[in-house]
Amino acid sequence: MKIVKDFLFLIVFCIPLLLTAQESLTDFTKSINVKPYEITFLVGMASYEGDMIKFGEGDTDVFTSSGLAFGLNFNYHLSNTLNGGLSYRFGKVKGDDSNASAESGRLARGFSFTNNLNEVSLRLEYVPLGNKPYKLQPYFYGAAGMVFGNPEVNFNEAKQGDAMKSRIANDKADIKKSSVVFPLGFGVKYTINENYTLKAEGALRVGANDYIDGVSISASQAYNDYYGIGGIALGYYFGTKKVATMKEF
């Protein structure tokens, strides 16, 4: 009889534990059973600040140098809070000394430029709230990559003195058309359903060279140019991730 009583006690005691464990396992299984791949298409704008645009100078702002931008991401779900993958961005930026203030002295110089930037990078995205059923979630991301461009510059050479013409010649000879960049950004995503998300994000490019606008020696070499890209993105999740089995526990 003691054996029967002990057996009944074990059943009564263990069943709730087993149910709890099964529930926990189910929750964990759900947390990793997500579609692991994501393709995102972004449309927005790019903006630059450098030797021809200074934000806050007169009526100059982030829109003064802005142009069309678009991009693609291919991400993989690394963990509950991390996504990593490849990113491509295109952004058109521009600048014109005619937007400068009278005090800056750049109105007489009369430089202007346009540049089509192509950026490829490896991106790591952090989602603090993780894979939880929140419709609206913030995320942060950083990347490392290269940007390629070919600035078309109007140096207004007919109105420049000999000293400036010499510096312009040096810029033309030394111009850099590629650079290492480190995008750092923030975004918010809205989950539409298990396949689609809508995102709004923006990132500043740290590390770009002083030739985004094609000008350095003939202007200011003290600081590098920089640019940012932001916009609205639609993400699509797909694929089936392998789910852990009991054997793996």
> Tens digit of pLDDT for each residue in 187-244?
999 999 989 999 999 999 987 789 999 999 998 877 889 999 999 999 999 998 655 4
Read off the DSSP letter of residue 158.
G
Q: Provide the whole-model pTM.
A: 0.80
Task: Please name which of 65, 75, 64 lies closest in space to residue 35, comparing C-alpha atoms.
Answer: 75
Contacts for 239-244: CB closer than 8 Å, 24+ residues apart = 239/35, 239/36, 239/37, 240/35, 240/36, 241/32, 241/33, 241/34, 241/35, 241/36, 241/77, 243/29, 243/32, 243/33, 244/28, 244/29, 244/32
pLDDT at 33: 52
pLDDT at 206: 82
Q: For residue 120, list its beta bridge partners.
A: 88, 146
C-alpha span between 235 and 51 (Å, rounded):
36
pLDDT at 12: 42
**Residue 244 neighbours by CB under 8 Å, 6+ apart:** 28, 29, 32
Task: Please name which of 151, 148, 149, 169 lies closest in space to residue 213, comparing C-alpha atoms.
Answer: 151
Quick count: other Cβ atoms within 10 Å of Cβ 110? 17
Read off the DSSP letter of residue 57.
S
pLDDT at 6: 40
Question: What's the farthest any 2 CA atoms get from each other in the chain?
Answer: 111
Flag residues of the chain having pLDDT under 50: 1-32, 244-249
Q: Name the percent of the chain lying above pLDDT 70.
A: 81
